[in-house]
Structures are given as structure tokens and as C-alpha cells.
Structure 1
Amino acid sequence: MLKTILYIALGGAIGSVLRFLTTVVVSKFWASHFPLATFLANVIGCFLIGFCIGILEKNQLTDSHLKWFLVTGFCGGYTTFSAFGLENINLFQNNTSFVAFAYIGLSVILGLFAVWLGLFISK
């Protein structure tokens, strides 16, 4: 258990630093109201989690420290949106489209509301 936590922590630290560097690099070359750095991190994170899961499944490594390091740690540190994307793909693949759409809609609407509420309460 401790070894797994260490793999997740290391992957998460690397992912978080890369997420920060993504913002630094994008901000250097792109100035706009559109949050391009976050958008790119989310899309790249979604690609990476899909790629990692695919490679891990192909090599029967879905219950390995590599999965914890790459998927939970690195991708989770880079963006939790990647996990959201993977969970929805799994819901669609399991023929639970209604649940997937409900999860998507509720996550976006309640997520935005929660951010607003947190900002409102803190002021």
C-alpha cells in the first residue's frame, strides 16, 4: 500500500509540475481571454490517460504500479479532467449513455456553480 502511494505521489508531483510549465509556456506565446493553457492541459491529459490505459491493457498491466504512477499519479496531477473523460468513455462503452450524459451535465453545471459559490462565500 505504501509503495502504491509513493508511485501515485511521484507521478502526481511530475504531472503537477508539467501542468505548471504548460501554463508558463502557453502564457509566454498566447495572450487571450480564452484559457488555452487549461484547455490544452485537459485535452492532452485526456489523450494521455487514454493512451496509457490502452497500452497498459494491451500488455495486461492494469493492476500494476505503472498504472498508479501514470494514470492516477501523472494524469491526475496534470489534470483531473482526464479521469472524467475516461470515466465517461467507460460509461458509454458499458451502454449507460444516460448515466454518462447525466454525469457530464451535472459535473459541468454543478462544478461551475460550486466555484461560484465558493467565491461568493469567501468574499
Structure 2
Amino acid sequence: MISVPASPATRWDVLLAIGAGGALGSLARYGLSVAIPHPRGEFAVATLLTNALGCLLIGVLMAVLTTTARPHPLLRPFLGVGVLGGFTTFSTFVADTLDAATTGRILGSLLYLVASVVLCLAAVAAGLTATRAVRRER
């Protein structure tokens, strides 16, 4: 009899890792939004910090995964897809940007949009670069 490997959709260990990580990441994001609230239409500092920190950590994680000979198979699903996927929030970023624009803060909306994209891209690059440099020194 030929054994067919389970597809990712039927790998319960992967699904549970993603679910557990997602719950933790979402709770952390909610905690940060409660700690740093913003009035409707104002600059959403908590969302910007959440996404920038999440991008930095995604860069670190990707550097670790690509420079480790045999990373644990549940590391990326748990941390990358689960924790960091649940922590970062593109939908809230878009909603905050649109909210600022529709409440008459067009310049603030554009500033938030540009700052988010630039900061998050820089954060991923910084995380990758710094982690690879540290790992090379070892």
C-alpha cells in the first residue's frame, strides 16, 4: 500500500499551532490598542507600532528560519502565521487610514499611509539584516 502524506489542511498539529499562535498574537494586539488608544480619525499610533514591531519580528523570524539547518516544522506556522499574523493587522491599518480620510484629516491619512508602509518595510529589512549579522558572528 502506498502512503500519501497528509495535506497541510489535514495536519492538525499545524492547524493547532497556527490557532494557538493566532490567539496569542491577537490578544497582544488588542492589549496594545487598549494601552495606546486613539480618538476616531486621529493618528493610530498603536496600529502603526503593532505593524512595525510585527514586521521587525517577521524579519527576525525569516532570518532565523533561513539560516537554521533544520528549524522545528511548527516554528513558522506558530510564530509566523499564528502569533505574528494575529498580531499585525492590515485590515485595521486600512480602516484607520480610511477613517482619518473620511473625517477630514486627509493629510494625516496620507502621512499615516506612507509612514506605515515605509516603517514596516524598513522594519522587516532591519530585522533580517540585524539577525543575519548576529548569526554570522556566531
SS of residue in 2 equivalent to 1:60: coil
1:64-88 CA-partner distances (Å, limit 9, x unpaired): 101110000011100144xxxxxxx
TM-score by length of 2: 0.53
- For the pair 1:21 / 2:21, whether they are aligned, the reply is no
Partner of 1:103: none
Aligned residue runs from structure 1 range 73-112, under 5 A: 73-81=82-90
Cα distance in 2 for residues equivalent to 1:46 and 1:17? 17
Structure number with bigger Rg: 2
Mapped to 2, the partners of 1:15 and 1:60 lie a distance apart of 26
Q: State whether residues 47 and 89 of structure 2, in contact with CA within 8 Å, keep that contact through their aligned partners in structure 1.
A: no
In the alignment, does 2:49 pair up with 1:34?
no
1:51 aligned to 2:88?
no
Distance across 2 between alignment mates of 1:23 and 1:59: 34
Q: Is the 8 A contact 1:15 1:76 kept in 2?
A: yes
Moved over 6 A (4+): none
Q: Please show how residues 56-71 of structure 1 align to structure 2 within 5 Å.
A: 56-61=65-70, 64-71=73-80
- Offset of residue 22 of structure 1: 0.7
Q: Provide Cα deviations, 1:17-61, integer angstroms capped at 9, x if missing partner.
A: 00001111112xx76810111111111111111111111211134
Q: Distance in 1 between matches of 2:70 and 2:24?
A: 21
**Inter-partner Cα distance in structure 2 for 1:60 and 1:18:** 30
Contact 2:54 2:88 in 1 (8 A): yes
Aligned residues: percent identity?
38
> Structure 2 regions of 5+ residues with no counterpart?
1-10, 103-138
Q: What TM-score comes out, normalization by structure 1 length?
A: 0.59
Q: Which runs of 5+ in 1 are unaligned?
A: 82-107, 117-123
CA–CA distance in 2 between the matches of 1:61 and 1:71?
Answer: 16
